[in-house]
Amino acid sequence: MNIDILLGKTTEHLVPLEGTKFLIHKQMLYDFLKLQKEAAAEGFDLKIISAFRDYERQLKIWNLKASGQRQLVDDQERPLQFSELSPTQIIFAILRWSALPGGSRHHWGTDIDIYDGNTQTHESVQLVPSETVGTGPASRLHAWLDSKIETNSAYGFYRPYSTDRGGVAPERWHLSYYALSRRIMESYTFSLFKKNIEESDIQLKDVVLEHAHEIYERFFLNVDLP
């Protein structure tokens, strides 16, 4: 497996999704279009709000959060007071919602965040749990996806963060193309994970390295399976 694919440092494995700015893995394009077409037949406008995200973009997200320039929230979507948190508390608060640069599934082009364009605009999407359940604007789309995933008829897509396993917070909007993402995960060893951190220019690097093994086990490997 090309290490640059694992770390989000190449686009060689990607193709553009026609009519959008998004890049996705070329081997999942056909099945995504089938899922999108079936959703349209059911009255949903299944759109992508985030697909491939390169290393530099993930690094920027991490560093903004780790330096207090971007809001951190708790599991109930409530703002956290950055100045009251220890460095260790900061990194684990970030990891509940955002991956380390080089450790994001979005680097692979196999994982996407979606919304319903019939009930949400690109600008209004916040990617928070309340949007996807109850009276949330994307709740009907996700109820339909529930049935598709449960019956293994979602064209190979599933939710890696469907339940709260104590790592990444549940993200019903996050879909992964299992056939590809499984193979990529199997190639991503702890030694590679740690080396990436050591060579990166991330905020709070020493604290991350101190907890590297726990982070790898709890926030990287610890996902739901189909």
Domain range for 165 is 3-221
3-state secondary structure 98-115: CCCCCCCHHHHCCEEEEE
11 domain-assigned: yes
Residue 206: is its pLDDT beyond 90? Answer: yes
Residue 91: is its pLDDT beyond 90? Answer: yes
**Model confidence at 77, in pLDDT bands (50, 70, 90)?**
confident
Q: What is the DSSP letter of 200?
A: S
pLDDT tens digits for range 180-203? 999 999 999 999 999 999 999 999
Q: Report the pLDDT value the prediction gives residue 114, as an integer from 0 to 100.
A: 98
Helix boundaries (H) for the chain: 3-7, 29-41, 55-66, 87-95, 139-150, 178-187, 190-199, 205-210, 212-215
pLDDT tens digits for range 113-162? 999 999 999 999 999 999 999 999 999 999 999 999 999 999 999 999 99
226 domain-assigned: no
In the chain, how many domains are there?
1
Q: Report the pLDDT value the prediction gives residue 67, as an integer from 0 to 100.
A: 97
117 domain-assigned: yes
Residue 75: is its pLDDT beyond 90? Answer: no
Here the CATH number for the domain that contains residue 59 is 3.30.1380.10
Determine the residue type at 168: V
**pTM higher than 0.85 for the full model?**
yes
13 domain-assigned: yes
Q: Are residues 111 and 103 in contact, defined by beta-carbon separation less than 8 angstroms?
A: no
What average pLDDT does the segment 24-44 reach?
A: 98
Please state, rounded to an integer, the average pLDDT across all residues of the chain: 97
The SS3 assignment for 50 reads: strand
Residue 208: is its pLDDT beyond 90? Answer: yes
20 domain-assigned: yes
178 domain-assigned: yes
Q: Report the pLDDT value the prediction gives residue 163, as an integer from 0 to 100.
A: 96
Q: Report the pLDDT value the prediction gives residue 76, as an integer from 0 to 100.
A: 85
Q: Report the pLDDT value the prediction gives residue 1, as an integer from 0 to 100.
A: 85
Give percent of the chain above pLDDT 70: 100
